[in-house]
């Protein structure tokens, strides 16, 4: 019998121990690798560092608002409309980083605003990630979805009437009609000038429209720059509205007394 304390026996014992450790490590590594393969090849190629999650797109859905199937969205629109005193004349108030959906068509407000600024001669700068770096000056845009038999004049008048209703002023349904001599009323002049403050966007063709007379239901929207429109209306003293002058380009307001 071999002496267990002999150098030869000790050497063999070390070899067996190392072999056992190697086998255990091999089995562990193999099991780990097989579990990674079971998770899919894309899992193997993923970096260990966590990526920032991309927030879901913020979509203001006109159909949900019309049918009142999304209480949270309905409450949000009511909250946004309240400071302006509008309820029916404006369907949605949206931010530049949001999208609007009408029927099956979804359009980013950023794309519409980029077209608006280009049409006005602004220069857009876009970084390599596709983000426009020219910061928009406006924060709120009113959207009216055009319905059957509507025209741009009536759309503007309904907004104006609702604005004055909110201030406790009853606007006559005939307030925008010319006087007996055929001269435009003050309200008529405001409505005519307001055409310069809005844009019409064709949802189906995804482009701005320049023809204000031909607008078709549910395929086009009227876009109000809420800051500009209501800044103008707040400057008008309705008691002196008939003293307003409009030369086709500039609206001249009498001083507030």
Q: Which of 93, 103, 99, 94 is nearest to 67 (CA)?
A: 103
In Å, how far from its chain's centre is CA 56?
A: 12
pTM of the model: 0.68
Q: Is the pLDDT of residue 135 over 60?
A: no
Whether 2 is covered by a domain: the verdict is: no
Domain with 15, as residue range(s), is 7-45
Whether 1 is covered by a domain: the verdict is: no
d(CA 184, CA 176): 8
Confidence of residue 71 (pLDDT cuts 50, 70, 90): very high
Same domain, 124 and 63: yes
Q: How far is CA 2 from CA 8, 12, 16, 51, in A?
A: 9, 12, 17, 62
The pLDDT of residue 145: 95
Whether 214 is covered by a domain: the verdict is: yes
Same domain, 24 and 63: no
For the chain, the domain total comes to 2
Same domain, 154 and 206: yes
Mean pLDDT value across the chain: 77
In the chain, which ranges are continuous DSSP H helix? 7-38, 41-45, 62-67, 71-81, 109-119, 152-166, 186-194, 226-235
pLDDT digits (tens, 9 = 90+) for 21-58: 566 666 666 666 556 555 554 444 444 444 444 445 58
Same domain, 63 and 32: no
Same domain, 97 and 32: no
Whether 52 is covered by a domain: the verdict is: no
């Amino acid at each position: 019998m071999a002496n267990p304390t002999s150098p030869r026996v000790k050497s063999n014992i070390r070899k067996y121990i190392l072999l056992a450790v190697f086998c255990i490590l091999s089995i562990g590594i193999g099991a780990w690798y097989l579990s990674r393969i079971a998770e899919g090849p894309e899992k193997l190629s993923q970096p260990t560092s966590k990526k920032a999650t991309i927030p879901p797109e913020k979509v203001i859905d006109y159909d949900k608002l019309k049918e009142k199937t999304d209480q949270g969205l309905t409450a949000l629109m009511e909250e946004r409309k309240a400071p302006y005193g509008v309820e029916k004349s404006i369907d949605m108030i949206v931010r530049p980083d949001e999208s609007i959906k009408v029927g099956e068509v979804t359009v980013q407000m950023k794309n519409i605003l980029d077209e608006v600024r280009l049409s006005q001669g602004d220069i857009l700068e876009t970084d390599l990630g596709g983000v426009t770096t020219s910061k928009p000056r406006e924060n709120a845009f009113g959207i009216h979805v055009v319905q059957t038999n509507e025209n741009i004049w009536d759309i503007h008048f309904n907004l104006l009437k609702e604005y004055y209703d909110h201030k406790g002023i009853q606007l006559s349904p005939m307030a925008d009609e010319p006087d007996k001599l055929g001269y435009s009323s003050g309200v008529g002049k405001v409505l005519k000038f307001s055409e310069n403050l809005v844009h019409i966007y064709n949802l189906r063709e995804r482009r701005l429209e320049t023809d204000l007379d031909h607008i078709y239901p549910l395929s086009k929207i009227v876009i109000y720059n809420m800051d500009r429109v209501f800044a103008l209306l707040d400057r008008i003293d309705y008691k002196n509205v008939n003293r307003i002058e409009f030369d086709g380009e500039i609206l001249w307001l009498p001083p507030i007394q």
